[in-house]
């Protein structure tokens, strides 16, 4: 009995010792790998900085013809980091180098990998590289990729790269439900003014989801000086068949519109849906549109308290004469506290 217990204890000690040896050995191997990697990054950092920061025509010799996977991974990682921080000639040099040396083609090949994680990593890498030659491959992913996660990464990556086909691909993918509206909106915002004509056109898209995304993006992207944007939003605010699109258009007008949006907002203030009337009141408040004053006064008695409260803010902003309801007093206080 005692002998069996002793043997058991001995076996436990042996097992614990073996585990400790394995863990220590593994840590040493990892430490050595990290050290090698750090040394590699240190060696390659200077030529990478030369490529990014100096205005030389040709890339530094130290970066050309790198053979080992570790070297190429290190250069790819360093350049991907800088590609997001710089613009102009520096960014073009990075993109050109990554395309010429086959880094972009290698990542694009990985988009066809059977492993989901590898496809996702490849999509992210292409976005980090910001090379226009990677955009076409990502556009295909948005429409054909089976994994929702990879599509999300590809949408974000495409937003960072831009290019002629990026906005239509993002909008088409959103219309098919392949990427969520919020991800599509973020990608379109990242694409910025480059994609503005497509976003304006998308306010008339057959999909209401796409129309709502387009209105929200225009509210954040467009400006009062852009006549096409304002025209599209004004039309959507009063004519779109879906109430949530009309409400989104009103909200966007409140951000980018001007006094010339008064007529459209007045139309939206008599909308059958309370959400649209409230959104129109808030937009009129933001823009301080005087011509909606009679409607704002009438909406103070709206059956829906959300609308009456919003009309209270409008009345307070326009300093309307008339009934000093609790909603007007509340609106005055909200505005004094910086409502926006």
Question: Interface with another protein by CB under 8 A: which residues?
Answer: 45-46, 49, 52-55, 78, 81-82, 84-91
Question: Minimal CA–CA distance to 286: which of 305, 310, 321?
Answer: 310
Q: Alpha helix locations (H) across 162-273?
A: 166-175, 181-191, 196-201, 208-221, 227-239, 243-256, 262-268
Q: How far is the CB of 89 from another protein (least distance, A)?
A: 6
Q: Which is nearer to another protein, 52 or 318 (CB)?
A: 52
Q: Give me the least distance between CB of 192 and another protein, in Å please.
A: 11
State the nearest-atom distance from the C-beta of 95 to another protein, in Å.
Answer: 13
SS3 271: coil
Report the residue number, 190 or 282, with the smaller CB distance to another protein. Answer: 190
In angstroms, give the least distance from the CB of 195 to another protein: 18
For another protein, the closer CB: 52 or 281: 52
CB of 60 to another protein, least distance (A): 12
How many CA atoms are closer than 13 Å to the CA of 70, on its beta-carbon side? Answer: 10
Complex with another protein: residue 88 or 272, whichever CB lies closer: 88
Minimum CB separation of residue 191 from another protein in Å reads: 15
Q: How far is the CB of 340 from another protein (least distance, A)?
A: 12
Can you spell out the DSSP letters for 6-51?
Answer: HHHHHHHHHHHHHHHHHHHHHHHHHHHHHHHHHHHHHHHHHHHHHH
Q: Which is nearer to another protein, 27 or 45 (CB)?
A: 45
Q: Which two tokens stand for residue 327?
A: 């909603």
Which CB, 130 or 210, lies closer to another protein? Answer: 130
Longest dimension (CA), the chain: 100
Q: Cβ of 230: how many Cβ atoms within 10 Å?
A: 23
Report the length, in residues, of the chain. Answer: 340
Q: Which residue has the tokens 């991974």?
A: 73
Nearer Cβ to another protein (45/164): 45
8 A C-beta contact, residue 270 and residue 294 = no
């Amino acid at each position: 009995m005692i002998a069996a217990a002793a043997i058991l204890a001995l076996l436990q000690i042996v097992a614990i010792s073996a585990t400790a040896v394995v863990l220590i050995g593994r840590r040493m191997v990892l430490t050595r790998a990290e050290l090698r990697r750090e040394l590699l990054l240190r060696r390659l950092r200077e030529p990478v900085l030369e490529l990014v920061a100096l205005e030389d025509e040709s890339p530094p010799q130290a970066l050309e013809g790198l053979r080992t996977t570790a070297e190429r991974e290190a250069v790819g990682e360093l350049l991907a980091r800088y590609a997001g921080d710089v613009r102009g000639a520096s960014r073009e040099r990075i993109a050109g180098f990554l395309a010429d040396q086959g880094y972009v083609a290698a990542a694009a090949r990985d988009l066809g990998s059977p492993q989901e994680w590898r496809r996702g990593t490849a999509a992210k890498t292409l976005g980090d590289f910001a090379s226009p030659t990677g955009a076409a491959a990502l556009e295909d992913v948005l429409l054909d990729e089976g994994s929702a996660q990879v599509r999300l990464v590809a949408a974000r990556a495409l937003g960072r790269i831009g290019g002629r086909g990026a906005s239509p691909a993002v909008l088409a993918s959103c219309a098919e439900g392949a990427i969520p509206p919020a991800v599509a909106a973020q990608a379109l915002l990242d694409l910025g003014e480059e994609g503005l004509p497509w976003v304006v056109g998308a306010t008339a898209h057959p999909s209401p989801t796409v129309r709502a995304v387009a209105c929200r993006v225009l509210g954040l992207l467009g400006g009062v000086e852009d006549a096409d944007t304002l025209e599209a939003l004004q039309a959507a605010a009063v004519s779109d068949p879906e109430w949530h699109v009309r409400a989104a258009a009103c909200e966007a007008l409140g951000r980018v519109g001007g006094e010339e949006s008064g007529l459209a907002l007045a139309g939206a203030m008599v909308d059958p849906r309370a959400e649209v009337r409230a959104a129109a009141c808030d937009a009129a408040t933001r823009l301080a549109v005087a011509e909606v004053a009679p409607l704002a006064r009438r909406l103070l008695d709206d059956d829906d308290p959300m609308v009456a409260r919003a009309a209270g803010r409008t009345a307070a902003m326009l300093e309307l004469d008339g009934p000093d309801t609790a909603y007007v007093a509340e609106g005055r206080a909200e505005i004094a506290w910086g409502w926006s």
